[in-house]
Structure 1
Amino acid sequence: MRNTIYLFVLILSVCFKTNGQEIVSGYLHLENSENWEQKVNLSKVQLNGKANGHTYIPIASSVLSKEGYFSFDQKWFDNKDHIYRIHVNPIKSISRRTGLAKNSKLFILSKNDSIYFKKGTSPFDSYTTNNKAHKEWEQLKKFESKFESLHDDFDTEKYLLRTKGYVKDSLQILLVKLISIKKLDDKKLLEKDIKENTAYYTSLLKELKSSEIDPALFLYLENKLSLVYLENTDEKYSISVVLNGIAGLVITFLVLLIFRRRRNRNNNDLVPLSKQENTIKELIISGKSNKEIANELFISINTVKTHISNIYSKLHITSRKELLLKK
């Protein structure tokens, strides 16, 4: 009797342990089940920079029971929140036909939480989870759904303003903020917003890097920031080149203007030569030496030299050669 009790307790403990490890579980209802593979696939999701872009990394598969039950235990999950996807594949021969039910579900989970899919009329439609990040993500989806019906009259400025306000005031979990930013990227609005709010995104990236979030999830944001930074740098460099060119032209113009004004001032400041100085100037230009000039004018050589010194001073020159050039 005692051995039977021990065996029963052991079986119960194993069952509870097994159930405790199954953190993703539930039932899958498939219309026309013969068109679908009879297993559920689990993948890890990474965000990328392409529109609506995700990269799926296969992790495990769970074969469906006769009742449609499937499960994944905690060994496939991390201690920190991450985005996962479960899906069931249609049989290849009909995989491109239209009218197949939605066959996948994205969710956030860590190994410390659980998600349970209830029986429903479509795959993965009804579920319960205790993961806080996923619950906040569902609230974000409800907010974003308000804009899904907008087409030609879609107001990007209003959408950006309301989205940023919602992210700032309502979202508390970094991973969900990151998902909301990916939505902006999908709508080709992220680059515009980064250019207008670079400081905010730089601060957010710094916060993401210091968190426990897998860096692969925000790599696209880091790349986008780097791209915008390079574009801004190139733009600033181009502007700098243009401004430097303009400054160079202005400086050149000012130097020429100053030189011209100085030359004109020098010309205007010339003191008129006396009659005797003009005579000596003409004799110098004709090639006469000091002695010849003295003999021709009946004055001493020293007097000639004095006159020549005065001529040079008044004309702002220093030699016969300059006088000949200036004639």
Structure 2
Amino acid sequence: MNIKLLFVLFFISSFSVKAQYSFSGQVDENHLENSVYLSLIEDYRKLSGVFSEQIITKQQIDTSGHFQFRGNQLDTDNRIYRIHIDNCKEDEQNQNHFDGHCDDSKEILFIAKNTDTISFPFSFDNQIFCKINSTNTKANAFVRIDSLKEVMKFDYGEFRSETNRKLNNKKWFKTLQYFGKQLNEPLAELSIYAFLSDRSNNFHEYYLEDLKTSTYYDDLNLRLSEQYPNSVYLRQYENEINADKFSIEEPDKISSGKWSSILLIFLGISLLFNGFLLYWLIKKKNNNKSNLKSSLTKQEHNILQLLLEDKSNKDIAEVLFVSVSTVKTHINNVYKKLNVQTRGEVKKLFNK
């Protein structure tokens, strides 16, 4: 019975040891006996920096500069982790790390899971020169990306001209995307996506244009959903992509709707103006008619009315009980006052 119990305990103990992670490394003499921190990064927009909410645990660096993290509380799937160290005293960290930045901080990013053993045989003072030995083949992905970025910096620094910058923007945008895809690790690819889509760098305008036509972003979404279907990384990426797609599609709709609205407003103003102009012309014409009529005597007014009724001179003479010659005299006076010369012009002047 005791033998069985010992066997069970040995089996459980062996399994527990096997399931533990171990991350160890060496730092330079400037950080001896400081604290070193292990963080889990679930927001790929916060890959670099010092964020207290990401910290899992801390260890003390010994007098030889060695540190080690061990345990079994990490996720069983790959996640993004950071180990960092800084020279800030613990009572100063809340103030100095408030915005996630620390000028006196060193860090290294890597991909790991709960069963991984990783060693950083050199100092992580500069990640691009740090060789990571790991049981996880994906652990080095961020180191490889940083190495490529160093080459990119050289291209940009060779000639600091606007033309050189634009040519390199176009070249390195696609180079980084392709390199990320070849890593065959969507978590590392996310760091490249975050870099290229960052509003503060020169690639952002290329990213927005690329997003309109490229299938790369849907393909990355598929790779993430296949390897990390329930991860926070996938949800964050989907939310950002959908928001960015909406932001580039909506201005086109807004622009189209804006011009339609402007056209309708212009049409409405035009109709209103034309209506007002027509009203003003009619009113002016009526006022002119009234003014012209007001210059006529009572008898001349009677003559005008009969002219508009197409009465002949003889008919007018009979209606008004005057001679035809008198009618002619009155008609001539009416013509002068109305500034016309014929009956037709009289009728045209007062035609509704």
**TM-score for the superposition, normalised by structure 1:** 0.60
**Equivalent in the alignment of 2:43:** 47
Which residue, 175, 193, 205 being the options, matches 1:162? 175
Measure the CA separation in 2 of the matches of 1:133 and 1:213.
Answer: 20
Aligned to 2:212: 198
Given residue 127 of structure 1, which amino acid in structure 2 is its aligned partner? I
By how many angstroms is 1:13 displaced? Answer: 5.1
Size of the alignment, in residue pairs?
270
Give the aligned partner of residue 153 of structure 2: 148
In 1, the alpha carbon distance for the partners of 2:8 and 2:61 equals 27
How many Å separate the matches in 2 of 1:18 and 1:85? 24
| Pairwise CA distance, 1:233 | 1.6
d(CA) in 2 for partners of 1:224 and 1:176? Answer: 17
Q: Aligned residues: percent identity?
A: 15
Q: Structure 1's 63 and 291: CA in aligned 2 closer, same or farther, altered over 3 A?
A: closer
Cα offsets for 1:31-54 (capped at 9, x unmatched)? 1555x42x4321111436589668
Change (3 A) 1:61 1:102: closer
Match of 2:39, as an amino acid?
S
| CA 1:164–1:119: 2 relative to 1, 3 Å | closer
Structure 2 residue aligned with 1:62, among 50, 56, 59? 59
Q: Does 1:178 align with 2:190?
A: yes
Residue in 2 aligned with 1:278? none
Residue 40 of structure 2 contacts residue 82 of structure 2 at CA under 8 Å; is this kept in 1?
Answer: yes
TM alignment of 1:134-283, pairs within 5 A: 134-149=139-154, 150-151=156-157, 152=160, 153-154=164-165, 155-168=168-181, 170-186=182-198, 187-199=201-213, 200=215, 203-204=218-219, 206-207=221-222, 208=224, 211-212=228-229, 214-216=231-233, 219=236, 222-223=239-240, 226-227=243-244, 229-230=246-247, 232-242=249-259, 245-246=262-263
* Structure 1 spans left out of the alignment, 5+ residues: 261-282, 298-321
Gaps of 5+ in 2: 97-102, 279-301, 317-346
Alignment-mate amino acid for residue 183 of structure 1 = F
Task: State the secondary structure of the residue aligned to 1:195.
Answer: helix
Query: Counterpart of 1:269?
Result: none
Paired residues of 1:87 and 1:103 also in contact (CA < 8 A)? yes
**Compared CA separation, residues 29 and 286, structure 1 to 2 (3 A):** closer
TM-score, normalisation: structure 2: 0.56
The answer to which structure, 1 or 2, has the higher relative contact order (CA under 8 A, 6+ apart) is 1
Give the equivalent residue in structure 2 for 1:114: 116
State the 1:85 CA deviation: 1.1
Q: Are 2:97 and 1:105 aligned?
A: no
Asked whether the 8 Å contact 1:87–1:104 carries over to 2, the reply is yes
Name the SS of the counterpart of 1:25 in structure 2. strand
- C-alpha change, 1:116 and 1:249, in structure 2 (3 Å) is closer
1:227-265 CA distance string (max 9 Å, x none): 563354235423442355357758969xx8xxx9xxxxx
User: CA separation of 1:33/1:193 partners in 2, compared to 1, >3 Å: closer, same or farther?
Assistant: closer
Q: Which amino acid aligns with 2:146?
A: K
SS in 1 for 2:197: helix
For 1:158, the aligned partner's letter is K
* Match of residue 301 from structure 1: none
Q: Which amino acid aligns with 1:164?
A: Q
**SS at 2:29 equivalent:** coil
- State which drifts further: 146-155 or 216-225: 216-225
Task: Provide the residue aligned with 1:81 in structure 2.
Answer: 78
Root-mean-square deviation over aligned CA pairs: 4.9
